[in-house]
Amino acid sequence: MYAIVEIAGQQFKVEEGRKIFVHRLEAETGKDLEFDRVLLTEDNDKIVIGEPAIKDIVVEGRVVDHVRGDKVIVFKKKRKKGYRVRNGHRQNFTQIEIVRIGQRGEGPKTVPEKAVEVKAEAEKSEEAVIEAKTAVKKAAVKKTTEKKTAGNKADGKKEVKGEVPAEKKAAGKTTGKKTAVSRSTEKKSEEKKPAVKKPSAKKST
């Protein structure tokens, strides 16, 4: 949040906690001041413009110190007259720290109130981090359980070595495939059959 405020005939853009230099004010060091000539305020992209000043909005500041600015040289000369004057000037300033921008009558927050707000924000952030960690853990556990169940299903579908599934046995019976026993009996019958001699061709004389 910032504001445009008029102090000692000059306009300044101020924010809470910022220090500015204004023309010398008749105020003691450490004294709190209130400036009600606020021309514009901005808070979370919401801009309010005064006509010419905003009612019931003030800028509160605290006098930090009274200082003098850098020296400025003032030189005067008149041609062909031999007139030359050289002077120096140092402007007097008052350093002000901006304490608060807001409604009139609302005092600045005390240190305990600020500490409570900071603590509440820290607790909220910690709770958000804990919730995120628990969500990640739950997702990881869910993935591992899904993988285990998928692996168990795949293991149940695997065939054991040396065993013929019942479906294949039934298919072999219906299609009339020869078993090992029938093949052995066929071989024996072939061995017992006598060999047929082929008639030899007669020699021509």
145 vs 198 pLDDT, higher one: 145
103 vs 201 pLDDT, higher one: 103
- Paired tokens of 109: 């927050």
Q: Which amino acid is at 125?
A: S
Strand boundaries in 16-127, DSSP class E: 19-23, 32-35, 38-43, 46-49, 57-78, 83-103
* Rounded CA separation 28/37 (Å): 21
pLDDT confidence tier of residue 19, bands split at 50, 70 and 90: very high
pLDDT of res. 94: 96
pLDDT beyond 50 at 169 = yes
The owner of tokens 């919730």 is: 131
pLDDT digits (tens, 9 = 90+) for 51-85: 899 998 999 999 999 999 999 999 999 999 999 99
pLDDT of res. 125: 75
* Rounded CA separation 123/134 (Å): 17
pLDDT confidence tier of residue 192, bands split at 50, 70 and 90: low
Q: Quickly list DSSP for 59-85.
A: EEEEEEEEEEEEEEEEEEEETTTTEEE
pLDDT of res. 168: 57
Asked whether 95 and 67 are in contact (CB, 8 A), the reply is yes
State which of 68-82, 161-175, 188-202 shows the largest mean pLDDT: 68-82
The predicted model scores a pTM of 0.49
Read off the pLDDT of each residue in 91-104 and give the average, rounded to a whole number.
94
pLDDT confidence tier of residue 205, bands split at 50, 70 and 90: very low
Asked whether 11 and 53 are in contact (CB, 8 A), the reply is no
**Residue 155: its H or E element:** helix 111-157
pLDDT of res. 186: 65
pLDDT confidence tier of residue 111, bands split at 50, 70 and 90: very low
pLDDT beyond 80 at 23 = yes
58 vs 173 pLDDT, higher one: 58
Domain ranges of the chain: 2-72+87-105, 108-136
pLDDT beyond 90 at 159 = no
